Amino acid sequence: MTQDDLKRQPPSPRHGPFASQYVIKDRHRALSTFIVIFLVLAGITALVVWLVYRPHDPKFKVVSLVIYDLNFTSPPYMFATMQFTVVTRNPNEKVSFYYDQLFVFVSYKNQVITPPSSLSPLYYDSKSTVALSPVLGGGVVAASIKVANGLVMDRSYGLVNLKLILTGKVRSGPLIGSSECQVDA
């Protein structure tokens, strides 16, 4: 090779101010390797965060129930007033909960028998216990004849299977979600 031949050749990508000593021969393989490494690191990070916090759902327990009024005088409408005392516990050591909106109502055989009541916002610190004692009802609710007759019969037997349903929007750190809790009374 002569000096003229060397001048005519294009410059090598390995030379110059921004040249790398490594040449990537297969760009798809390099991109795939990068994505796999990124996903593995993200998975390990998520696993470590879960192991540190180990979030558990709060526990709800009905302690007492008082039925003040249960009236079926004008079918298909009923009027019920009751008060539940619910004790709730946050079993987490490092996670606290904040309920922005909390609604509660009572159902019997999957039919609502009290109008939904709004409760004030609620904050659970870690390892804390909170007692709620809302008075529910006070309004007229449409109920089927089957539900009204079932309530009258169960009441005469001395055993009424009611469900207290709490629904709300919960925040736990940066997360926001909605939750529903059904408590048998």
Domain ranges of the chain: 59-184
- Domain 59-184 belongs in CATH node 3.40.50: no
> At residue 177, what are phi and psi to the nearest 5 degrees?
-155, 175
Q: What is the pLDDT of residues 157-169, one digit of tens each?
A: 888 888 888 888 7
- pLDDT, position 174: 44
> At residue 14, what are phi and psi to the nearest 5 degrees?
-85, -5
Q: What is the pLDDT of residues 65-82, one digit of tens each?
A: 888 888 877 777 888 888
> At residue 143, what are phi and psi to the nearest 5 degrees?
-135, 145
3-state secondary structure (DSSP) of residue 102: strand
Question: pTM for the complete prediction?
Answer: 0.65
* Closest C-alpha among 125, 146, 152 to residue 58: 125
CB 102 within 8 A of CB 116: no
- Two structure tokens written together for 69: 């009024």
